Amino acid sequence: MTVRTPLNLLPYGGTSPALAGEPRHAGAGHALIGRIALGRAAWLGAGAVIRADGHHVRAGDDLHLGRGATVHIAHDVYPTLIGDRVTVGANAVVHACTVGDDCVIEPDSVILDGSVVEAASVIESGSVVFARSQLQGGWLYAGRPAKAVRELRPGELAERRTALRARNEAAPGEWTHADQLAEIDPTAFVANTAVLRGRIHAAERTSIWYGCRLDAGSGEILVGARSNVQDNSVLATGGGALRIGVDTTIGHNVELAACRIGDRCLIGIGSRVAAGTVVEDDVFLAAGAVTLPGQVLASGFLWGGQPARELTALDKRKKALVLETIITYCAYADELKQAQAAA
């Protein structure tokens, strides 16, 4: 007998997700939040998140999201618009952008704010489409930033779509709930699909979002006041300590090992912070960046690349963005905490 997972639908700003029909599949740990218009026959892998709390997400028919994939908006600046028959791989992020019909977005890829990916494009695994990019349809794109590699061969788009959907559907379907060891301040928000294991301390006004997996092992994880850990990020100490300062943002689908993140930092979408890394105060780590074990990221700079390197000094605009994100996420968290309590 097949047991269907109940849909995890939550309103935001008085608006609940609107579904054109029952999803073909909705895996454990999925979440659909706020101003969503979702077409027919969606397939949602375990831990897949579509969150429309500041703007709207409109997705066409036959959307296929892999395990831990994230779709989000950019507050009130950019919506996310997705065409028909779009396939998104595991751990990929579609953020505040436009994606045309029949696109294939392979695992661990990131599409950033204001970008337009035209119909029948393929974004290769691990690629990052930088903000406000315009990608012509019918091409294969790869790299960080994603660049055109070549035109797609006849039949290649269908082959890649079929293969990726098979991978999505073969992925593990379980999603474990939190244990009882975490110490969460009463003012904090923990999303109803977040998984917390071990000694985890979340200070006042912190937020831990949908699909996040925090595993302290035999060590500990400390999240400072007002900081947020965004959807589908994975924090695993391996027995060490992982400390996040105050007023810091950990973006979507980030991986943190046992490391130290300072105050007023922004750790960009899809980035990887290795064990022993020290991120000093007031650091902006770009999307898709990867640090080396034991690396020190000096205060006051934008870092990016693989491995991460110092790119430029932070200007007033980037410093303001960090604090604006904190204010925005505290407001999101307050509303979603009420919505979860009422569900």
What span, in angstroms and rounded, lies between the C-alpha atoms of 71 and 202? 25
Q: What is the pLDDT of residues 265-314, one digit of tens each?
A: 999 999 999 999 999 999 999 999 999 999 999 999 999 999 999 999 99
Instruction: Order the strands of the 189-190 sheet from edge to edge.
Output: 189-190, 207-208, 228-229, 249-250, 266-267, 284-285, 301-304, 309-313
| CA angle (238, 293, 306) in 5-degree steps | 120
User: 227 φ, ψ to 5°?
Assistant: -75, 155
Contact 201, 180 (CB under 8 A): no
The pTM of this model reads 0.96
Domains, the chain, with CATH or none: 9-170 (2.160.10.10), 183-342 (2.160.10.10)
Q: Can you point out the beta strands (E) in 22-112?
A: 25-26, 31-38, 43-44, 49-59, 64-65, 70-72, 80-82, 87-88, 93-95, 98-99, 104-105, 110-111
Q: What is the pLDDT of residues 13-42, one digit of tens each?
A: 999 999 999 999 999 999 999 999 999 999
Q: What is the pLDDT of residues 239-251, one digit of tens each?
A: 899 999 999 999 9
- Candidates 122, 54, 132, 128; CA nearest to 88 is 122
Q: What is the pLDDT of residues 289-301, one digit of tens each?
A: 999 999 999 999 9
SS3 140: strand
SS3 194: coil
Q: What is the mean pLDDT of the chain?
A: 95
Indicate the helix (H) or strand (E) that contains 149: strand 147-151
User: CB-based burial of residue 27 (10 Å sphere; 0-12 exposed, 13-18 middle, 19+ buried)?
Assistant: buried
Q: Point out which residues pair with 137 in neighbouring strands.
A: none
What span, in angstroms and rounded, lies between the C-alpha atoms of 333 and 261? 21
Q: Higher model confidence: residue 27 or residue 5?
A: 27
What Rg value do the Cα atoms of the chain yield, rounded?
A: 19
